[in-house]
Amino acid sequence: MIKETQHEQVNHLVSHLFRHESGKMTAVLARMFGFDRIEIAEDIVQDTLLKALTEWRTQIPDNPSAWLYRVAKNQALDLLRREKLFTEISQELSHQSEPDTLGKMFLADEIEDSQLRMLFACCHPAIALESQITLSLKILGGLSAAEIARAFLTSEDTVNKRLYRAKEKIRNEQIALEVPEAKELSVRLEVVLKIIYLIFNEGYSSSHPDHLIRHDLCEEAIRIGLLLTRNTRTNLPQTNALLALMCFQTARFPARLDDKGSIVLLRDQDRSLWDKFMTARAYEFFRQSSVGNQISEYHIEAAIASYHASAEIFDKTNWEVILRLYNLLADIKPTPFVYMNRAIVKGYVYGAKVALEDLIKLESLNQHYIYQTTKGDFYAELNDTQSAKECYEKALSLVSSEPEKQLIVKKIMNLKSL
């Protein structure tokens, strides 16, 4: 019985470390071998974790992370010696491959630098956007192909094909592990922030059938964002604005689900449960984002989130100001979902009829369950139960998340009591 408990403890610990440390190790090793040999780095990390699963069953080391780094470093050195790569790789890399230099590359500052280089390399414009996201999640996020497939409602085969194409691009284009300079940095950072934003959004409202919130994805997005703030070239106002937005949203997590796992809408959430520490962090990042005169989409979305955070109760939300912010957001980010959210806010300011007039124009969203649910809500507010029911039933046919299905069914049941 004791051995079984130890076995379970080791499995849990290795799984946790894989999620939080594999990206760091891969980034350092890829920097040593070259980005075009990323598979070598991934193989060493995989072998190191498998070795931990075996050896830790008898005794878990005092510092598991340090153990992993040491074993990975030794495996890298053994491979370099065995395959005589010292003579095949560049002079710079040969110098980095010396034992003393290898050890220094696993120090905290060097690990962060390697991760930053890896992040910008994954987001190279030569790589297609969907492959950039997939590669970033796989290498830096430590997610498996199966997890990425579930997160983005695609097949594992599609994910593997994206990874293959991305790695082919890396080899063919000889993409370097480096943070770009000047103008190119600005363009690439925009893509990096977009990917972080997409990762967080998938975690915040997950497409996974059983989990509304994927905490691991949200944590990974915030971790990467924090990594950017620790480098002077990427610690920019828009970076801090995105971090503010993510922290404001994360603060609501404790109130978004009840004790049965059912969704609690913003209107009904117990705001005393909102994470005060995360809210404070959000305001701090928001203050740091105010430097300079540039306003990004993340500034506006963070500002919207801040007005929700400052409202003691839902009915005291300053919808007029939020509507003005959505008007600004629509100017710089004219997407259907921004228009939909603006229509919702218009409903709170001007009433359900005005909101529906805007929503009906968004035909491109007809096959999205949130759009259909939103229309249903406003039809219900106008006591048009038939139209509301049709929208809810359409939404039900489109949604995959079990908690969302339960919420829509509850809305349909509430119609019957009107």
Gap between the Cα atoms of 256 and 137, Å rounded: 25
pLDDT in tens, 119-172: 888 888 889 888 988 888 888 777 778 778 776 667 899 999 999 999 899 888
Report the 10 Å Cβ neighbour count for 313: 9
Please state the domain extents for the chain: 1-106
Whether 345 and 376 have beta carbons less than 8 Å apart is answered as no
% of the chain beyond a pLDDT of 90: 45
Closest C-alpha to 35, from 125, 158, 129, 120: 120
Contacts of 156 (CB under 8 A, 6+ apart): 145, 146, 149
Residue 232, Cα to own-chain centre: how many angstroms?
22
| Cα separation values, 268 from 55, 119, 278, 406, Å | 50, 39, 20, 16
Closest CA to 118 of 75, 176, 51, 174: 176
User: Is the model's pLDDT at 70 over the cut of 70?
Assistant: yes
- Give phi and psi for 143, each to the nearest 5: -90, 145
Over residues 316-349, the pLDDT tens digits come to 999 999 999 999 999 999 999 999 999 999 999 9
Residue type, 50: L
Q: How far apart are CA 57 and CA 5, in angstroms?
A: 10
pLDDT, tens digit (0-9, with 9 covering 90-100), for 74-87: 888 888 777 665 55
Q: How far is CA 264 from the centre of its chain?
A: 22
The total of other beta-carbon atoms located within 10 Å of residue 186's CB is 11
- Name the residue with higher pLDDT: 416 or 276: 276
CA separation (Å) from 295 to 232, 235, 237, 304, 410? 19, 15, 8, 13, 40
Residue with the larger pLDDT of the pair 110 and 370:
370
From 41-50, 90-99, 204-213, the region with the lowest mean pLDDT: 90-99
Per-residue pLDDT, 395: 96
Give the position of tokens 């939404």: 395
CA angle 251, 257, 263 (to 5 degrees): 120
Tell me the pLDDT tens digit for each residue of 43-67: 999 899 889 888 898 888 888 888 9
If pLDDT is split at 50, 70 and 90, which confidence band does 39 have?
Answer: confident
Region of residue 46 (left: phi > 0; alpha: psi -120 to 50; beta: else): alpha
Distance CA 197, CA 245 (A): 9
Measured distance CA(152)–CA(134) in Å, rounded: 10
Q: Is-contact 115 27, C-beta < 8 A?
A: yes
Q: Tokens 């007005």 belong to which residue? A: 307
Assess contact for 153 and 207: CB atoms under 8 A: yes
Phi then psi dihedrals of residue 263, to 5 deg: -70, 135
In tens, the pLDDT along 234-274 reads 899 999 999 999 999 999 999 999 988 899 999 999 999 99
Nearest Cα residue to 133 out of 162, 94, 176:
162
**In the chain, what is the straight-line distance between the N-terminal and C-terminal CA atoms, in Å?**
57
SS3 317: coil
- Residue 257: DSSP 8-state: B
Q: Give the residue from 252, 250, 186 showing the smallest Cα distance to 220.
A: 250
Would you state the pLDDT for residue 261?
Answer: 87
The better pLDDT of the pair 143, 365 is held by 365
CB 273 within 8 A of CB 255: yes
Q: Determine the pLDDT at residue 151.
A: 66
Per the structure block, which two tokens stand in for 254?
Answer: 């404790």
